[in-house]
Structure 1
Amino acid sequence: MLDLFRRTRALTYMNATGKGIRKMARQVTVFFYGLFMDPEALHARGFRPRNVRTAHVDRFRLQLGERATLVPHEGGRVHGIVMTMPHDDLDALYADDSVAAYRPEPVLAHLPDGSAEPALCFNLPTLPAATTRNTDYAVRLQSVARKMGLPESYVASIADSG
């Protein structure tokens, strides 16, 4: 009989001899719209993004405060990057105090070839105060969005996303 328990955020099964067998990390599709869009920055922090592609989600708009979040908005569109990452990478990425309040929500990421795929998207459960605005973050986000090849009209609109 197998015992299941959590150790360091990875699943380990105990077989009858008491030896642990580590399960392979499952890849999760995630849509990023903030600074986490940059796979090089994620690699530099020890994360393992794969299958990186541009995408957009509809019926949302970008809202900037100290960081970015998505807000439901009929007719809205937010551009970003869709990629796959192991669950444990996502757990570690969102364990940082600056992003710990973000919660995963399902979205439909539309790809340039016309296809779409379900993805997780991390958003704040409550909106940032209208008076909260991190202009340094907005400038850095524009730089990352440009680097990732997002539409220039969208990159320019980031400055007004408050």
Structure 2
Amino acid sequence: MDNSGHRLHEVFFYGLYMDPEILTSKEVTPRNPRIATVKGYKLRIGKLATLLRDENSKASGIIYSLTHDEIDKLYKDSGFLAYVPESLTATTKDNATLSVLCCNLRVPPATGENNPEYLEKLTACMKKYNVPIF
């Protein structure tokens, strides 16, 4: 079994990390992009984005194949330590079902917490990459 740093993992992104230009700027290679949804979650924008459990909702994003080192660059090395990985099931546009890693805030944003500038950037990103908006 290959436990090397080159092994790829499917990672679901729902925030600005959907943008491959941002990933590349952080020395991460976004491989095998697929638009997908996760059921049972809704997108919540506080200071940044997170997914909250909601059995009647679904959230859209992009899956990329990344190494553990690349995932660490995006979260640990960038100071996003409040985000923790969890395993979710995502469905791609062609109805493939995949187990994915997804990093979410352990503590959800406070009621009333928002970031209009982030929301504007995220909406533009979703339009640019044809990800269904909210």
Q: Fold conserved (TM > 0.5)?
A: yes
Deviation at 1:138, TM superposition (A): 0.3
In the alignment, what sits opposite 2:41?
Answer: 60
Normalised to the residue count of structure 2, the TM-score between the two structures is: 0.93
| Structure of greater relative contact order (alpha carbons < 8 Å, 6+ residues apart) | 2
Which 5+ residue runs of structure 1 have no aligned equivalent?
A: 1-10, 12-22, 158-162
1:39 Cα deviation from its structure 2 partner? 1.1
Q: CA separation in 2, counterparts of 1:90 and 1:77?
A: 23
Q: Which of these two proteins has the greater Rg computed from alpha carbons?
A: 1
Q: Which runs of 5+ in 2 are unaligned?
A: none
1:104 matched to 2:92:
no
The counterpart of 2:111, out of the listed 119, 124, 130, is 130
1:47-102, Cα deviation, whole Å (9 max, x unpaired): 111001100000100111000000000110100000101110101110222x2210
Task: Extract structure 1 runs of 4+ deviating beyond 6 A.
Answer: none
Alignment of 1:42-121 (within 5 A): 42-95=23-76, 96-97=78-79, 99-121=80-102
Identity level (%): 37
Give the match's secondary structure for 2:126: helix
Given candidates 119, 123, 134, the residue that maps to 1:142 is 123
Using the TM superposition, give the Cα deviation of residue 24 of structure 1 relative to its aligned residue in structure 2, in angstroms.
Answer: 4.8
The amino acid of 1:39's aligned partner reads P
Q: Hey, what's the Cα distance between the residues in 1 that align with 2:59 and 2:52? A: 10
Structural RMSD (CA): 1.3
Query: 1: distance between equivalents of 2:95 and 2:34?
Result: 13
- 8 Å CA contact 2:26–2:74 kept in 1: the answer is no
What is the TM-score with the length of structure 1 in the denominator? 0.77
